Structures are given as structure tokens and as C-alpha cells.
Structure 1
Amino acid sequence: MARQLNRLVDSTLKKASYETHGSVKLFDGGGLYLHIQQSGRYWRMKYRIGGRERLLSIGVYPQVSLKQARDERDHARQQVSQGIDPVQARRERQQSQREKLDNSFQALADEWLVKVHAETVGATTYEKNKRRLERLAYPYLGVRPISEIQAPEVLDVLRRIERQGHVDSAHRVKTLVGQVLRYGIARGVAARDVTADLKGALAPIRQKHFAAQTTPDELAPVLKAIDGYRGAPETVIALELLPILLLRPGNIRALEWSQVDLKARRIELAITKNGDPLVVPLSDQALSALQRIEPLSRHRSRFVFPGARSAARPMSDNAMGAALRNLGMKDQQTAHGFRAVARTMLVERLGFAVELVEMQLGHRVADTHGRAYNRTQWLDERARMMQAWADYLDTLRDPHNNVTAIGRGRA
């Protein structure tokens, strides 16, 4: 049933309902009508294009008002006059919007995080970078189509971070945004990495140096203090291993028993900070320390050093640093600083090749052609170096120790 009216008015529409009118079409002119049905009141528009009658859905009344429906009708009539099919134009517009959403910065960044970043960095680094994107980039770039992002808007995001005093974070976010854009290029949805245009636009990072004692006379009291530390067994042994393993503190505290092979005398980290595997040969001293912690943690946790509150989590990331501060070393020696100690003394005091030391520190080492060495190389030489280093630390801790600490080697 259809009812012809010259023009609809709001008062008529407000009273019109299925209960009072049944299923009816109330026409407004120009093909526009309100179709009242049991399920609701729907704006429709009839039009003809290419000799065929078509029907355009405009919306539901009263969410779409009479004025809004008329505006949509007028726009559709204009399209028809230009030979454009309003229904097809809407489908194309919706498809374009879906593609923009699918190719938004956040969508591509989420995909990159899972498919690329998670496979190339350690879990801790992954989570930090994921949070950086979520907190600092997504609120401003998240819904933007990646193909439309320009350098000035990226710079605006970075300036916000910089103004809060987090210059280092601004540089890290710039790197992450650039990596996502390059992933977009590989996926065929971005043309270029616009962060390349921002070189020199941010304040330089002030290099942070971790406190470290890099001479024997300075290091000896630190080692003696650690030897005398009294605390939870997990913290005591983690501190003991900190100077001799050359690992980052985060790698030690999150170390899992699945990564430790006591029989083969090695630790194998599948992914390190720079995304490569790393093998750590165990000296006699390191092996002894791990054998002491094994009966305390292996049966109750997958972590070598489980957390104090929950064995399902690793030791707190502040545990070793707090222990050093409790020993009065706040401005003398940090947990991370032991890597600088080893880097200096292994080369200058024990005479090992810098390439060998860098590789054991988990740094990228390239050959003469610029190709990165595999970090599972030179294991025999590295095992001798790690034993020599542990022995040398013993002599510093106890000058009367009869161990001969110098064990020179070169790759």
C-alpha cells in the first residue's frame, strides 16, 4: 500500500507507525519515501539510471531526519544527472573506506609487530616497542591510511614526545614508524618511508653511560662486596653470574632452564636484543653457580631466577640493581655496566681480540666484506675466553688465589 502526499512534515512522521498505519510508504517527492514496516521505518529512494529502476537505502527514521533524508536524495539525484549510479558509488566508497582501514598505520603496525618484529627481537624489547606504538603513535597516526602519512605529521607526533622531555623515546618511535612504513612499502600499500625526511629534526640523544669500574683496582672492591652480599639465594647467584656471563641483566633475570644445557656447558639464547641467536659457553664458575640454583628453582619454575612473589614470572627487573645500590654502589657500578667492564678488560688486560669480545657481548660483528658473522662461530675460542675471564675475576676478588687468569686467544 502506498500513500501519496505532496510533501512530508515532521509532525506526520512522528505519528506514523506500523501499529497505526500498517505497512505503508509515505512519499516526499523526487523518489524519496519512508517505508513503514513492522521491523522499523526506513528511508528509501527510487531512481532510474541506464533504463533500469534502482533503489537506494538512506537510513532509519528518526536517526536520519527528514532534512537529512532530503539532502541525501538531492545528492543522489545530482549523481544520476551526471550518469553516476548512487548505489554503485556508495559501494565503491565503502570499499575504499574498508581498504583505508585495512591499510591504516595501526593495522600495518600490528601486522608488522606479529609477523616481523616478534621474530627478530627478544620478548622484552618486543613488549616495550609494542607499548611505545600503542601509547605514543596510535592515538595520532593509528587510523591514518599508511599511504597518506606525511613527514610533518610524523614530526608532530615526535615533537609531542620531545616536549615531555623524552628525547630518547622520540628517536625510538621515529625508528619504529620508519620500520612500519617500510613494511607497508613491501606490502605494496605505501610509497616511501617519510621518516627519512626527518633526519636532524629532533634534538640529539644524550648518551647514557652505565657506571662501571674499568681498572683492576676499582673492580676488586666491587667483586668483594658482591661476594659478601646476603639476600635471597636467587639474587645472590644472579649477582654472582652478572660479571662473568657478559649477558645483559634482562637476559639473566629472564633466563629459562630450557635455555641452559649444563652437560654441554652452555646457554643458548634464541633471540637477543639485535635479533640474532647467541651461545654463551659456561666457565667452571658459571656452571657451579647454575648447579647451586638448580635444586632451588628448576622443580617449581621454568625460570632459573623466579620472581619472589610468583614462580610463574622471572625475577624483578630491579632486583640486581637494587642489590648493588644496597651495597652502596649507586654511582660506582650498575648491573649493565659489567658489560663495559668485560669489554675493556678482556681486550686491554687479557689480550683477547675485540671481535671475539664483541661477538660474546651479543653485538653484530662483520667480516671484511661487511657480512655479519654467525654468533655460533668461534665457540672454542670463546669458551677459553670465558674461562679466562672468570679466573681473572677470581684473582681480583682474592689476590692470593693460585688460578692463572691470563688466557690469550684470537679468532
Structure 2
Amino acid sequence: MNNTFEAVARKWHADQAAKPDKWKPDHAGRVIRSLELHIFPDLARRQIGEIMPLEVLGLLQRLEAAGKHDTAHKVYDVVNQVFRYAVMLRLCIFNPAAELRGELAQVEQKHYRTITDPEKIGGLLRALDGYTGSPQTRALLQLSPYVFARPSELRLLRWCEIDWEARQYRKDGEEMKNGIGHIVPLSRQAIAILEGLKPVTGHHEFVFANIGSKKPLSEGAARKALARLGFLDQITPHGFRHMASTRLNEMGFNSDWIERQLAHKDPNATRTAYNHAEYLEQRAEMVQAWADYLDGLKAQSGILQQTGG
């Protein structure tokens, strides 16, 4: 076996990517690209057993100096796993990355901008209804607060994943961040939005397809639309999840139902997989109550706007 850092790293990467329960294809792509961009240019041809901690630290600190603190931590995690793999194969006497634990600057926890004040939520919903861009983008914005799925999950929704009779859509584990399949019950309001979009993109694979390319809307489409509406400084596409989670908890809904609807991974390590239909009946009732609540806020916002209140 070629014992250069690149050869060992690619062997490790191939082993991990081959495990069906380990990585999704898009994650595997991000991992190898991070190595190709930030590590291989300097360490690719080095014998992995000869690399010292300070060499690795220098590459990570270069990222920090460029203001890429989050990237530095992610690259460190990857490099650390490569060296652990090499130690396991007895290609290294020790893991030089392990010596660097605590050397990188701490990254502040990311907080997504969101709106939780009921009156402001109502104003936001009215603004989303008034969006004058493409019908696909408007529908994506309108559906986001009702469904509160991860932005990528919703943006990549396919028509074939929607069960109209059951009023739900289903996502395979390969497309979910946690690798676990997910059933999402839909409110009457969400179904109406999707039905309204069907004449526009129903003949395409993706619900939110670009008419020209037939590909789904870009990752930045929702952000650009929120910016155009003047709301991006108050809420991000991901912020709809936090908005729903905060309000639903305050409204007294069962936290297990909320967490399952958000497709958060079960923190109980003894459970290897969710039942796809876990709390499905309760979640269906919850999302309908949530949709009705949102419509009430939107109507109240309209009354306040008309009266100048």
C-alpha cells in the first residue's frame, strides 16, 4: 500500500463512503473536497508516518488567519480521522492531529435568525403571500412556515414523494441529514399551495423546478427572496424551523412530536432507527393546528394593517 497521506486519506474515504449507514453521497463529496482544497496541496506526497503535529497545525492556522474558523474545525475533524485510520493500520506510530486538540480558536455556536413574535409572524406571512417573483419561489416561501422542513429537504422535494390521499410526503434516508427516512404530514393549507403549483411544475421531476433547466431552485433562491422582501435580517430559510419549534413548544405541544417533525436525530444512542410513522397521527393533528394558528396570525395582521393598529 502506498503510504503517502493522499493515498491513505483516499483509502479511508473510500472505506467510509462504502458503508451505506455511514455517509450520504453529498457529505462524502464535501469531505474529499475539503482534503483536496486544504490539505493535499501541502501533504499529499508526504509519507503519513513522517508528518508532525506542527505541520498540520500550520495548515489549520492558515485557514483561521483567513477567517475560516468553521472550516478549520471541519478540516481538523477529517484529518484527525485519517490519522486515526492510519494508526489502526499501523502506518503511523501516533496521531499527530490528536496532539492539536484545543489549539484552534473556539467557534461561536451558530444561531439562525428567526421571528417568534406572533404579530411579526403574521406580517411575515402576508409578505410571503405578496412575493412577486417566480411562482416556484413564492410557493417555496409560503410552504416553509407550514412544513418547517430543512431548506434542502423542501427545495429538493419531488412530485413522486407526495402522497395526496394521505396528505404527506416521504423522504428516503439518503436525502435526510440524519440518514433516516422521514414522513412529513401536510396540512390542508400546505396541500393547497402544492396543488396551486402543480400546473407550473407538475410535469417536471422537482416540485420547485426551474422551468428552463428543470433542475430544482438554487440553494440561494429563498434567501434572495427574503432579502428582496426585506426580511433576511430577521429570518433565514432555516429560521422557519426555529420559529415553529419555539412557538409549538410554547403552545404546549409534546416535545417528542415536535422533534420528530423536525427530523432531529434521537439522542438515545441505543436506538438505531426511527419508525417512519412515529407519532404520525399526533404530528398530523399538530401541523394542522399550527397551520390554522398561522392563518389566524396572518388574518390578524391584515386587520391591524387596515386599521393602522
306 and 191 in structure 1: CA distance in 2 versus 1, 3 angstrom threshold: farther
Residue pair 2:187, 2:287 contacting (<8 A) in 1 also? yes
| Maintained 8 Å contact 2:16/2:22 | no
1:271-290 equivalent positions in 2, closer than 5 A: 271=174, 272-290=176-194
Equivalent of residue 115 in structure 1, options 18, 31, 34 = 18
List aligned pairs for 1:346-385, cutoff 5 A. 346-349=248-251, 351-367=252-268, 371=271, 374=274, 376=276, 377-385=278-286
Displacement after TM superposition at 1:345 (Å): 0.5
Contact 2:6 2:40 (C-alpha < 8 Å) held by counterparts? no
Which protein has the bigger strand share? 1
1:199 and 1:121 map into 2 onto residues whose CA distance is 24
* Aligned AA (2:97): T
Question: Structure 2: which amino acid aligns with 1:388?
Answer: A
- 1:318 is aligned, of 212, 220, 225, to 220
User: Which residue number in structure 2 is paired with residue 327 of structure 1?
Assistant: 229
Residue aligning to 1:390 = 291
Equivalents in 2 of 1:136, 1:392: separation in Å? 48
In structure 2, the partner of 1:292 is 196
Deviation at 1:337, TM superposition (A): 0.8
What is aligned with 1:40? none
Aligned residue in 2 for 1:154: 56
Q: CA RMSD in A?
A: 2.8
Do the aligned partners of 1:113 and 1:130 also contact (CA within 8 Å) in 2?
no
For the 8 Å contact 1:256–1:302, the answer to whether it is kept is yes
- Map 1:129-208 → 2, pairs under 5 A: 129-184=31-86, 194-208=96-110
Greater C-alpha Rg = 1
Identity %: 36
C-alpha displacement of 1:330:
2.4
Q: Distance in 2 between matches of 1:360 and 1:188?
A: 44
Deviations 1:33-66 (A, max 9, x none): xxxxxxxxxxxxxxxxxxxxxxxxxxxxxxxxxx
Aligned residue in 2 for 1:223: 125
Q: What are the within-5 Å matches in structure 2 for residues 68-83 of structure 1?
A: none
Q: Is the 8 A contact 2:53 2:97 kept in 1?
A: yes
CA distance in 2, matches of 1:241, 1:288: 10
Q: Assess, with a 3 A threshold, how the Cα gap between structure 1 residues 249 and 202 changes in structure 2: closer, same or farther.
A: same
Between the aligned partners of 1:297 and 1:187, the Cα distance in structure 2 is 51
Residue 215 of structure 1 deviates from its aligned partner by 1.9
Aligned residue for 2:305? Answer: none
Question: Aligned partners of 1:142 and 1:258: how far apart in 2?
Answer: 44
CA contact (8 A) 2:248 2:290 kept: yes
- Tell me which residue corresponds to 2:247: 345
Cα offset, 1:308, TM superposition: 5.0
- AA of the residue aligned to 2:158: E
- For 1:226 and 1:142, the matched residues in 2 are separated by 49
More helix per residue:
2
Residues 122 and 298 of structure 2 are in contact (CA less than 8 Å); yes or no, is this contact kept in structure 1? yes
Is 1:105 aligned to 2:8, yes or no?
yes
Once residues 100 and 77 of structure 2 are traced to their aligned partners in structure 1, the CA distance between those partners, rounded to angstroms, is: 11
TM-score, with length taken from structure 1: 0.65
Query: In structure 2, what is the Cα distance between the partners aligned to 1:114 and 1:370?
Result: 23
Give the C-alpha shift of residue 381 in structure 1. Answer: 1.8
Is 1:264 paired with 2:163? no
- 1:366 and 1:372 in contact (8 A); partners too: no
Range with greater deviation from structure 2 (289-298 or 124-133): 124-133
- Name the aligned partner's letter for residue 281 of structure 1: P
Larger RCO (CA under 8 A, 6+ residues apart): 2
Cα displacement string for residues 292-316 of structure 1 (whole angstroms, at most 9, x for unaligned residues)? 22332232x32111125411x2101
Instruction: Give the 3-state SS of the residue equivalent to 1:280 in structure 2.
Output: strand
1:203 Cα shift? 0.5
- How many residues in Structure 1 have an aligned counterpart in Structure 2? 299
Of the structure 1 ranges 268-277 and 336-345, higher mean CA displacement relative to structure 2 is found in 268-277
What is the rounded CA distance, in whole Å, between the counterparts of 2:233 and 2:218 in structure 1? 21
CA change 1:112–1:389 in 2 (3 A) is farther
SS at match of 1:99: coil
Tell me the alpha carbon deviations over residues 261-307 of structure 1, each in whole angstroms, 9 at most, x when there is no partner: 323322222232233222211222222222222332232x3211112
TM-score, normalisation: structure 2: 0.85
